[in-house]
Every structure is written in C-alpha cells, then in structure tokens.
Amino acid sequence: MRFGLVLNIVVAGTAAAAPAMAADGAPTFTRDVAPIFYKSCIECHRATMFAPMSLTSYEDARPWLRSIKRRIMERTMPPWGSDMPHGVLRNDPRLTDQEIQTIVSWIDGGAPKGDIADMPKMPAFADGWTIGKPDGVYSMTEDYKIPASGTIEYLYLRIPVNLPEDRWYTAVEIKPSARAHVHHVIAYTEPHSDAPTRPGSTFGPTNITGVSPNKPGLVFEPGVAKLLRTGHDIILQMHYTTNGTEAVDRTQVGFIFAKEPPKQIHITGLAAQPRFVIPAGDPNAEVKAVAEIKQDTIMTSLTPHMHVRGKDMTYTAYTRTARRNCSCACRSTTSTGRSPTTWPSRNACRKEPRSRS
C-alpha cells in the first residue's frame, strides 16, 4: 500500500544481474530462457490459459521462435500499456534489456535445448483461489450456457448474500468457471431486491472488484479492508464472449473477512467523462474527467479504460493550490457535489478555471 513497499519490488528488474549467459557458450533453453518464460510469460502462455500457445517446455516454444523474437524486441510481450514517466508500478512486467538479449541470442544461436537437469521448477499455479481459502463464497444461482458463436450482450446477474451483519473483508476474488469465455466480470453491491436486475452502477463506492483474463484476486495490505454490507446483494456485470466452443459458466465471488476493524478503508473511485463527441476527422481529440479526492488518500492502483478509438491516457494529480493556478485543469466540478454523469462537456473543460480565491 505504501510507496516504499511498491518501490522495493520493482527495483529487481533493473539490478545488474549476473550475466544470464554462462561463460561456456550460448544460452540454452533449460538454463537461461525457461527461467525468464516462467517468470514473465507462462502466467498466460500455458495450456489452460488464454494466450495462443504454451511456452512451458522447449517443445512448446520451439515452433514460435521468430514470433517470440519479434514480439519481445518490439516490446509488445509481455503486454503492458504504461510508460510511467514518474515512479514505478509494482506489477510492471517488462523484460529487462538483459533478458531480451538472452532470449534473442538464444534464438540467433540456433535455440539449443540444453541440459534437462537445468530446467527450473514449474511454478505452482492456483487453479483454485489465488487469495487462499475464502471465508465466504457466493456463486451465481444458475449455470450460464455460452454458445459456440454469436455476440452475448452484457448480463447483470444477482447473487443474494444474506449477510447477518456488515462485514469487512481483506481479500476478494472473482472466479469464473469458464475463464476462456469471460472477457470481464465486474462485481458490485446493491440493496437486496426481488425485482429483475437492471444495469446498475458498476464503479464507485459499491464496487467490489473486477476480473479479466489473468487477473488474480485482490489482497489488501495489512490493516486495510473494504465493507460488504448486510442487506446487499452482489451484482455481476458479465461480459461473456464466444470462442468457437460451447461452455458452461458459474462464476463465484470469494471473500476473506477481516478479523478486526481496519485501520484504513479501501474504496474504488471514478473519474469518467461519458458525454463527449469526437469531431469527425479529428485525429487527436482530447477528453478530460476530474475527480476530487476530499480525504487524505493513498492511491494504490489505476485502471485506465477506453474503447477502440482511445490512444493514450494521462493521469495528473493536483494539490488544491496547484489546481487553482493551473490552466490545464478542468474547472472545479465535483466540489459542487454534482454526480459524475453531470460532469461538464469537453468544451467546459477547455475553459480556464475560474479563480476560486
């Protein structure tokens, strides 16, 4: 949760590691390349996951050499969308120059397999819960049959929870059973109701968490928890996709409950600008959204989200004083108490901020 902690973890990537090539010659798969694949690729590139091929063994990787070389040299694998001009992110998966160099010289050197005794141990992947054994598991009340083809509109599925009292939770995970057919799930809560479930507000304070391919469960730092309210149901916004085979899904949400009240509360916030028009032909239209954070807050994660026309996104944090003087910031909007759906249009955002002194 604290940035000191975050830093610790990433520095390893740039440390001057011992040369990955042994002195006696070109890199081999078992000794030099497999450790990199195991660390950086096989969370997605293994038989049960969604990437197009497995990279867990020499035989699996061998047919893909040209493609592997290209994708790691252009740095499009592992996938990562952030250039992070400031600071570091804990989950930055990028390969170091050294690692890229090792894989490229292995391929250029004829991709030798090496001694099987050098093969690293296969990491243990939880096919169950990544957060550990949950105290509470809430499942979809019925199976959902996913056809082999066609488009499936978003579904909103209600899971009654019936908690006798409010509970703080320290970890949560959404676990689809047909992962390869799930584009995403977003879970949030709503007061219990027997009426048909309609689309609700997926983000904001009632948000629980989301899952997309490869996203493990969420475990908060010690002392941090989030609230699951009595009298509320869980709503799943399900985006299933067809992929040529039929499947049956029954997604579960698992919680680990806090043993004691939290010292810090985890919440999900939102800065969205849903009302904008891209002028025809504009190659670089800009859209802004502002959220005011009223309490002392540690920001622990960011989820930029745009659809196909989106090119890039920048987050800027302003202190109250800096924002008052900054012509690029949007006029103070959320401080008026207006809800996100009435945030100003793009043009309003372009005006100079009004002096609020």
Binding site for ligand HEC (CB under 6 A): 40-41, 43-45, 50-52, 64, 67-68, 71-72, 77-79, 93, 95, 214
- Please give the backbone phi and psi of residue 62, each rounded to the nearest 5 degrees, phi first: -50, -45
Least distance (Å) between residue 41 CB and ligand HEC: 3
| Dist CA 184 CA 197 (whole Å) | 18
Least distance (Å) between residue 198 CB and ligand HEC: 32
- Please give the backbone phi and psi of residue 107, each rounded to the nearest 5 degrees, phi first: -65, -45
Which stretches within 41-197 are classed as H helix?
58-61, 65-73, 97-108
| Dist CA 214 CA 346 (whole Å) | 34
Least distance (Å) between residue 297 CB and ligand HEC: 28
Least distance (Å) between residue 30 CB and ligand HEC: 16
Closest CB to ligand HEC among 52 and 196? 52
Closest CB to ligand HEC among 50 and 156? 50
Least distance (Å) between residue 28 CB and ligand HEC: 16
| Dist CA 33 CA 329 (whole Å) | 47
Read off the tokens for 24: 């006696």
| Dist CA 229 CA 167 (whole Å) | 6
| Dist CA 87 CA 97 (whole Å) | 19
Closest CB to ligand HEC among 2 and 66? 66
Closest CB to ligand HEC among 41 and 140? 41
| Dist CA 219 CA 91 (whole Å) | 14
Closest CB to ligand HEC among 214 and 297? 214
Least distance (Å) between residue 104 CB and ligand HEC: 11
Closest CB to ligand HEC among 68 and 349? 68
